[in-house]
């Protein structure tokens, strides 16, 4: 990918506000980014970074390294947990996460330098905070540049998470990588209802297009799966709807599936709760009460989701337990100050299943 034009260092100060505290770190880099395009109430900027490859120092996560080719995400998912990442750039309005997209520069040379730090068995997750195949990728090809560099290596473990069928553009490249590395592509699908998806994920591709992408990747020999995260109480948590999605994923060729309940940090709640007030007003007070002093839903509800997912995986032939589902439980318990070693229980397909999940 040809690098996008950057401002010269002597011009950087012109973009830093003259009044107020001086910006430092990533906030200064963001302020120095050049506006390169506008459209659909979205503006794109360049941004320099020290490295495209970031170490994940959270032991509970199933991956050791992360790559996010962009800062911000145009898909504008109402529940998105990653809006807080724009706050690092002193962009406090949570809506700016979907309206100001920062395109990282010089990623291939950075990755060539930094892949030496990755040890055997350490997974690299692409798309943990922003979608690597959001609309900006079609024009700027940052994700493709990352994959082109990875194709030169052997023994890497790579996982891609996306909501976009644009990933099919890179099918041949993914096949090249898979010859000498382990790679999987996870499509996030939270509902089969296209109208509902348009409300909760306004600018993401339709669910049927994501299922079609799973089928195409599966036929190309790429290991694929489905993330049903987040499951929204009272909106997408009907057991019959969850089962329909699990069944559709299996029919499409997915080899694994997992689903976790929503969690709402303050920056996420600032967007999600007004959305509820407009589209699902009968749920608003319940959500407010549930998330008033915590980001996570009660352990009992998470356990119900876990039991249901375990039963459905067994029913439809998903034999591998999804590590990320258990990871979510550990994350939630630690956030609540409880010891996850005492709370994570082995789930059985014999656990009783409710007709209706008991929260809302």
Distance between CA atoms of 266 and 270, rounded to whole angstroms?
6
Q: Both tokens of residue 237?
A: 């948590």
Distance between CA atoms of 117 and 186, rounded to whole angstroms?
25
Distances (CA, A) of 5 to 8, 35, 234: 9, 10, 47
pLDDT at residue number 22: 60
Distances (CA, A) of 336 to 82, 261, 340: 20, 15, 10
Q: β-strand 223-227 against 182-188: which pairing, if any? A: parallel
pLDDT at residue number 319: 67
DSSP bridge pairs for 316: none
DSSP state of 17: -
Distance between CA atoms of 313 and 321, rounded to whole angstroms?
8
pLDDT in tens, the chain (360 residues): 443 433 233 333 333 344 445 654 555 554 554 554 555 689 999 999 999 999 988 777 788 899 999 999 999 999 999 998 878 678 788 899 999 999 999 999 999 999 999 999 999 999 999 999 999 999 999 999 999 999 999 999 999 999 999 999 999 999 999 999 999 999 999 999 999 999 999 999 999 999 999 999 999 999 999 999 999 999 999 999 999 999 999 999 999 999 999 999 998 999 999 999 999 999 999 999 999 999 999 999 999 999 999 999 999 999 654 555 454 444 444 444 444 444 444 444 444 444 556 566
Q: Which of 264, 199, 265, 185 is nearest to 227 (CA)?
A: 185
Residues 6+ apart with CB under 8 A from 181: 150, 153, 154, 155, 156, 157, 158
Q: What CATH number has the domain spanning 47-69+108-342?
A: 3.80.30.30
pLDDT at residue number 62: 82
- Kindly provide the residue ranges of all beta strands, DSSP E only, lying in the chain, ordered along the sequence: 35-39, 42-47, 53-55, 65-67, 70-71, 100-104, 123-126, 157-162, 182-188, 223-227, 256-258
3-state class (DSSP) for residue 330: helix
What is the value of pTM for the model shown? Answer: 0.82
pLDDT at residue number 44: 95
Distances (CA, A) of 149 to 106, 161, 315: 12, 18, 40
Alpha-carbon dihedral sign for residues 13, 87, 259, 344: positive
Distance between CA atoms of 142 and 133, rounded to whole angstroms?
9
Domain boundaries, the chain: 47-69+108-342
Residue 261 near residue 205, CB atoms below 8 Å: no
Distance between CA atoms of 157 and 122, rounded to whole angstroms?
7
Rg over CA atoms, the chain? 20
């Amino acid at each position: 990918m040809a690098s996008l034009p950057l401002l010269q260092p002597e011009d950087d100060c012109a973009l830093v506000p003259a009044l107020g505290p001086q910006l430092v770190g990533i906030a200064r880099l963001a302020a120095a980014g050049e506006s390169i395009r506008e459209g659909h109430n979205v503006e794109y900027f360049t941004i320099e970074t020290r490295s495209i490859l970031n170490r994940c120092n959270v032991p509970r996560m199933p991956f050791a390294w992360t790559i996010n080719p962009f800062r911000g995400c145009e898909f504008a998912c109402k529940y998105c947990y990653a809006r807080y990442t724009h706050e690092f750039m002193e962009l406090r309005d949570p809506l700016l996460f979907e309206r100001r997209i920062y395109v990282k520069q010089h990623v291939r040379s950075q990755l060539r330098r930094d892949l030496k730090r990755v040890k055997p068995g350490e997974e690299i997750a692409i798309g943990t905070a922003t979608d690597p195949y959001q609309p900006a990728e079609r024009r700027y090809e940052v994700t493709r540049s990352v994959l082109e560099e990875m194709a030169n290596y052997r023994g890497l473990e790579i996982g891609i998470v996306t909501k976009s069928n644009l990933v099919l553009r890179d099918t041949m490249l993914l096949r090249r990588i898979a010859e000498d590395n382990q790679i999987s592509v996870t499509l996030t699908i939270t509902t089969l209802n296209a109208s509902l998806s348009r409300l909760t994920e306004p600018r993401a591709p339709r669910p049927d297009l994501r299922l079609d992408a799973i089928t195409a990747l599966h036929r190309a020999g790429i290991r694929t799966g489905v993330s049903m995260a987040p499951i929204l109480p009272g909106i997408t948590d009907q057991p019959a709807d969850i089962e329909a999605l699990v069944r559709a994923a299996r029919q499409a060729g997915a080899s694994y599936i997992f689903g976790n309940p929503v969690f709402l940090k303050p920056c996420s709640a600032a967007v999600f709760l007004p959305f509820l007030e407009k589209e699902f007003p009968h749920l608003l007070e319940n959500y407010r009460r549930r998330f008033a002093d915590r980001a996570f839903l009660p352990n009992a509800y998470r356990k119900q989701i876990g039991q249901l997912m375990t039963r459905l995986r067994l029913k439809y032939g998903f034999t591998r337990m999804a590590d990320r589902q258990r990871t979510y439980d550990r994350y939630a318990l630690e956030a609540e100050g409880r010891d996850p070693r005492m709370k994570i229980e082995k789930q059985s397909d014999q656990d009783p299943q409710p007709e209706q999940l008991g929260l809302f």
